Amino acid sequence: MQVMSKINRRSSFWVSLISVVLGLLVGAIAMIAAGYSPILAYGALFQNALFQPYDLGETIRTISPLILTGLAVALAFRTGLFNIGVEGQFIMGQLAAVIVGLKLHLPPIVHALVAVIAGGLAGAIWAYLPGLLKAKRGVHEVITTIMLNFIALYLSNVLVRTWLTSGADSTDRIADTASLQWSVLSAMFGGARIHFGIIIALLMAFVMYYLLWRTKLGFELRAVGYNPHASEYAGMRVDRNIILSMMISGFFAGLAGASELLGTQGYLAIQGGFTGIGFDGIAVALLGGNTPIGVVLSAVLFGVLTYGGTNMQFAAQVPFEVIRIVFAAIILFVAANVSGWILGWFRSLKKGRGA
């Protein structure tokens, strides 16, 4: 708990910036060691992610689910919980959305809305169990959510194979009425797959801000995260708040899955492994200092790196995985508060010179 609040406090802009620069530096070292040019690669990365309407549209598409999974992790962090199960809740969101998209027949807009909400609720339900076990039996949520990630993966695969199709690898496309795509928006960005997911994501960033800092429930959730014992003493229901916090977090994650499915893919396929978007949310939340605005900004950065990274392969022949190395380094630097040490060292240097 103490560690969590320490992470929350380290939200200053400089700390994040230093971590990002160090992370990119680690990536550069990995590239130099393997004989690639980091200047060429990073140049291509940023250029390809931002300067053509199509690429900008695709970058925004990449950013949208990262905002939502980042918010999911950040909200749990704020209340003293570590939701590693965002990936599983994301999968459940996809699953619920594809079921609604395939099985229900509803008018346009209503259909999409129902499918999105179903996705969010599926994520929330999937997060209920770890919340309950944490609150009632003190079981650490990290382990239960890891296990639930795998269960969600296999559950989704078996349902695709046996119920949603008869033995096929992927479902039919969802009904057009459930789609989150909007041709006008797509045309503005040169035919990119940008969709309403970004609106949902930004809306949820506002919801998180409003909920945590403008409502009584939000105050309680933050208080529990800051000091569960004091909160209990003050008459707050710690159990209920833990469960609620996990469920809201799962709701965001489920929305991410639903909007990816309804907006980008349009169908659900059997997956050999995780999408990774849920885990990226951990990096996004940490770098964003667990605030809604921080999450949006760091999702933008991670989205640019992710989308630009795929193009980097063509321009500089650098394997995309170098971006994952950069992500890992950033998480490690933020978690170990390396920037804090560097800043502290800098200050003592300044002081030393002043004396």
Nearer Cβ to another protein, position 197 or 250? 250
Rounded to the nearest whole angstrom, what is the least distance from the CB of residue 188 to another protein in the complex?
34
Nearer Cβ to another protein, position 140 or 347? 140
How far apart are the C-alpha atoms of 156 and 161, rounded to whole Å? 9
Helix orientation angle between 216-226 and 238-259, rounded to the nearest 10 degrees: 110
Nearer Cβ to another protein, position 244 or 312? 312
- Report 215-274 residues binding another protein (CB under 8 A): 272-273
Of residues 127, 95, 67, the one with CA closest to residue 248: 127
- Should residue 189 be labelled a site residue for another protein when binding is judged by CB under 8 A? no
- Should residue 95 be labelled a site residue for another protein when binding is judged by CB under 8 A? no
Rounded to the nearest whole angstrom, what is the least distance from the CB of residue 289 to another protein in the complex?
14
Give the total residue count for the chain.
Answer: 355
- Options 283, 284, 304, 305; binder of another protein; rule CB under 8 A: 283
Of residues 237, 279, 106, the one with CA closest to residue 179: 106
- Should residue 86 be labelled a site residue for another protein when binding is judged by CB under 8 A? no
**According to DSSP H, which parts of the chain are helical?**
2-9, 13-33, 38-50, 53-78, 86-103, 110-137, 141-159, 183-188, 197-214, 216-226, 228-233, 238-259, 277-287, 292-316, 322-335, 338-354
> What is the DSSP-derived secondary structure letter of residue 172?
P
- Options 13, 150, 206, 233; binder of another protein; rule CB under 8 A: 150
Distance of CA 34 to the CA centre of its chain: 30
How far apart are the C-alpha atoms of 179 and 45, rounded to whole Å? 30
Rounded to the nearest whole angstrom, what is the least distance from the CB of residue 297 to another protein in the complex?
19
- Options 151, 236, 315, 343; binder of another protein; rule CB under 8 A: 151
SS3 of residue 170 by DSSP:
strand
Count of other CB atoms within 10 angstroms of residue 166? 7
Could you tell me which stretch among 214-222, 224-232, 258-266, 327-335 binds another protein (CB under 8 A)? 327-335
Phi, psi (rounded to 5 degrees) for 10: -80, 60
Question: Which amino acid makes up residue 62?
Answer: T
C-alpha count within 13 angstroms, C-beta hemisphere, residue 180: 31
Rounded to the nearest whole angstrom, what is the least distance from the CB of residue 271 to another protein in the complex?
11
Q: How many chain residues bind another protein (CB under 8 A)?
A: 49
- Options 40, 146, 185, 342; binder of another protein; rule CB under 8 A: 146
Nearer Cβ to another protein, position 106 or 155? 155
- Report 6-25 residues binding another protein (CB under 8 A): 7
Could you tell me which stretch among 145-153, 182-190, 193-201, 204-212 binds another protein (CB under 8 A)? 145-153
- Should residue 337 be labelled a site residue for another protein when binding is judged by CB under 8 A? yes
Nearer Cβ to another protein, position 215 or 317? 317
Helix orientation angle between 322-335 and 292-316, rounded to the nearest 10 degrees: 150
Rounded to the nearest whole angstrom, what is the least distance from the CB of residue 286 to another protein in the complex?
7
How far apart are the C-alpha atoms of 25 and 23, rounded to whole Å? 5
Nearer Cβ to another protein, position 190 or 319? 319
How far apart are the C-alpha atoms of 327 and 325, rounded to whole Å? 5
Rounded to the nearest whole angstrom, what is the least distance from the CB of residue 336 to another protein in the complex?
4
Positions that interact with another protein (CB under 8 A) = 3-4, 7, 30, 34, 82, 84, 129, 133, 137, 139-140, 142-144, 146-148, 150-151, 154-155, 157-158, 161-162, 272-273, 279, 282-283, 286, 317, 319, 321-325, 327-329, 331-332, 335-338, 341
